[in-house]
């Protein structure tokens, strides 16, 4: 150091250059109510400059006691609760739950109902993937793609409204099939909408896939290795982006998926870009599946012909004693699910949606375990972000598509 009175020397001395600059890590709190965290999740992030040193994910702000509620209602009354799990793709949850109950009971539903379930599920898969892609663009600064995506999603929601009577909380389908057939001319409307959706999805893709700003922000960010992804229990697009071809629709086909011709796209790098692009490819596969399903769909009943499971027709309820008794028993006691346990899984937009059901024969579920895909994926978010930049957290959080409803139950 220069002594007082000396002339100022701008060249720093050797030990001044080499000396350790005193810095300290900063703790940043993101959420639980933050525009970039869709869903109420709180991330406690320890930062060294802009690099994330440690991250702690805190969830549970949207916990509604799903399992406890289900254990105290009849098997059919669980259905409205399942709408609220993944509220972007509620038909997937409805049908997934019903398929699990039917698996436990050993009931096979009519073929037409199976086709309608496939069409409904795939429609909602497109809606969910479009929302994810659009929101990802929105968060990286592109508002246009989001508007196109939401316009396409609105078309799907319109078709779902015609099917079930509700925009989001569908509660469509019953144990043993569907509560009602599709409305007249609905399949033609779906086919017409698909043309428009294809066009809009093309716009979204055109705005994003080769966009320099978008690729710079997503390529090579949020990488997770194949081993870690398996270890944390990733499924769906997040696992397939790492190069693991696991899809429940292929691994253990349910309904009529084995009769449809479709491919499962697989990624390479396991980064944000792969997760986004897989969703784009899956939208095209889902459209292909819907068109095939509509072409193959047979005529016939949509509900099993068994009054212990399905509500009897109204003329029988009003005019015959058997009808009245069947109706009364079904409404008061619920569907008789025999005692036992079973695990069944379906492929929801985010991955394997599994249900472990346990019945004690009382007419109410003894235990319902939901294997929400987002729960396992979110537990690996810390691993995906530690050692990376804070700004990359936002696209990573988006591409894993965490849905508060299913993660926090």
Partner 1 sequence: MSTFALDQIQAQIPQAIVERYTDRAGDAWAVIAREHIVEVAKLVKDRLGFRLFISMDAVDRLHLEPHEQDPRFEVLYFLRNIERNEQLRLKVRVNEDQQIPSIMKVYQGAEWGERFVWDFYGVTFDGGLKRRVLMYEEFVGHPLRKDYPLRGRQNLIPERPIKDIFRGPGTNGVQD
Contacts of residue 295, defined as CB under 8 A and 6 or more positions apart, other chains included, come to: none
What are the φ and ψ backbone dihedral angles of 58, each rounded to 5 degrees?
A: -115, 125
* Tokens found for residue 128: 């969910």
**CA–CA separation, 368 vs 383, rounded Å?**
29
Counting contacts by CB under 8 A, is residue 251 touching partner 1? Answer: yes
- Residue 126, SS3 per DSSP: helix
* CA 291 to each of CA 156, 225, 367: distance values in angstroms, whole numbers, following the listed order: 14, 35, 37
Provide, rounded to whole angstroms, the least separation between the CB of residue 370 and partner 1.
Answer: 9
Counting contacts by CB under 8 A, is residue 338 touching partner 1? Answer: yes
**CA–CA separation, 237 vs 285, rounded Å?**
13
Compare residues 155 and 400 and give the one whose CB is closer to partner 1.
400
Provide, rounded to whole angstroms, the least separation between the CB of residue 53 and partner 1.
Answer: 9
Counting contacts by CB under 8 A, is residue 271 touching partner 1? Answer: no
Counting contacts by CB under 8 A, is residue 258 touching partner 1? Answer: no
Q: Are 87 and 168 in contact (CB under 8 A)?
A: yes
Task: Mark 341-380 with x for binding to partner 1 (rule: CB under 8 A) and - for no binding.
Answer: xxxx-------x-x-x-x-x-----xx-x-x---xx-xxx
Counting contacts by CB under 8 A, is residue 232 touching partner 1? Answer: yes
Contacts of residue 159, defined as CB under 8 A and 6 or more positions apart, other chains included, come to: 123, 186, 189, 190, 193
Sign of CA dihedral 269, 270, 276, 279: positive
**CA–CA separation, 116 vs 180, rounded Å?**
11
Kindly tell me which residue out of 2, 10, 14, 24 binds partner 1, with binding defined by CB under 8 A.
24
Counting contacts by CB under 8 A, is residue 386 touching partner 1? Answer: no
Site for partner 1 in 54-73 (CB under 8 A): 56, 59-60, 63, 65, 67-68, 72
Compare residues 42 and 288 and give the one whose CB is closer to partner 1.
42
Compare residues 87 and 366 and give the one whose CB is closer to partner 1.
366
Compare residues 218 and 359 and give the one whose CB is closer to partner 1.
359
Compare residues 323 and 354 and give the one whose CB is closer to partner 1.
354
CA 225 to chain centre: 21
DSSP state at residue 391? G
Per CB under 8 A, residues contacting partner 1 are 24-27, 29, 44, 46, 56, 59-60, 63, 65, 67-68, 72, 103-104, 106, 227-228, 230-233, 235, 239, 244-246, 251-252, 338, 340-344, 352, 354, 356, 358, 360, 366-367, 369, 371, 375-376, 378-380, 383, 408-409
């Amino acid at each position: 150091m220069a002594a007082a009175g000396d002339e100022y020397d701008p060249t720093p001395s050797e030990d001044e250059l080499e000396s350790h600059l005193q810095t300290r890590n900063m703790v940043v709190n993101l959420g639980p109510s933050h525009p970039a965290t869709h869903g109420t999740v709180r991330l406690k992030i320890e930062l060294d400059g802009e690099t994330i040193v440690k991250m702690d994910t805190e969830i549970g702000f949207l916990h509604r006691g799903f399992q406890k509620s289900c254990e105290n209602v009849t098997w059919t009354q669980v259905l409205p609760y399942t709408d609220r799990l993944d509220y972007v793709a509620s038909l997937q949850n409805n049908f997934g739950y019903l398929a699990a109950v039917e698996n436990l009971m050993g009931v096979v539903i009519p073929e037409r109902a199976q086709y309608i379930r496939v069409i409904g599920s795939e429609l909602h898969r497109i809606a969910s993937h479009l929302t994810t892609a659009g929101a990802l663009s929105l968060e990286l600064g592109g508002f246009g793609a989001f508007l196109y995506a939401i316009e396409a999603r609105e078309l799907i929601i319109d078709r779902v409204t015609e099917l079930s009577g509700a925009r989001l909380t569908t509660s469509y389908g019953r144990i043993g099939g569907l509560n009602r057939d599709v409305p007249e001319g609905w399949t033609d409307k779906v086919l017409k909408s698909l043309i428009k959706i294809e066009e809009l999805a093309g716009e979204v893709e055109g705005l994003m896939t080769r966009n320099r700003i978008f690729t710079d922000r997503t390529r090579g960010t949020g990488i997770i290795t194949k081993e870690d992804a398996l270890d944390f229990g990733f499924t769906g697009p997040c696992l397939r982006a790492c190069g693991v071809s696991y899809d429940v629709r292929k691994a253990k086909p349910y309904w009529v998926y084995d009769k449809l011709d479709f491919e499962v796209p697989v990624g390479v790098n396991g980064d944000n870009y792969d997760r986004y692009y897989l969703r784009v490819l899956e939208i095209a596969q889902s459209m292909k599946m819907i068109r095939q399903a509509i072409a193959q769909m047979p005529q016939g009943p949509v509900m099993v012909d068994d009054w212990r499971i399905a509500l009897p027709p109204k003329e029988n309820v009003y005019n015959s004693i058997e009808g009245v008794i069947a109706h009364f028993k079904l409404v008061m006691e619920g569907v008789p699910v025999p005692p036992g346990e079973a695990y069944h899984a379906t492929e929801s937009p985010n991955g394997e949606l599994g249900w472990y059901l346990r019945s004690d024969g009382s007419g109410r579920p003894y235990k319902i375990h939901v294997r929400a895909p987002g729960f396992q994926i979110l537990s690996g978010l810390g691993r995906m972000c530690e050692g990376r930049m804070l700004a990359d957290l936002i696209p990573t959080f988006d591409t894993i598509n965490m849905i508060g409803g299913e993660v926090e139950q």
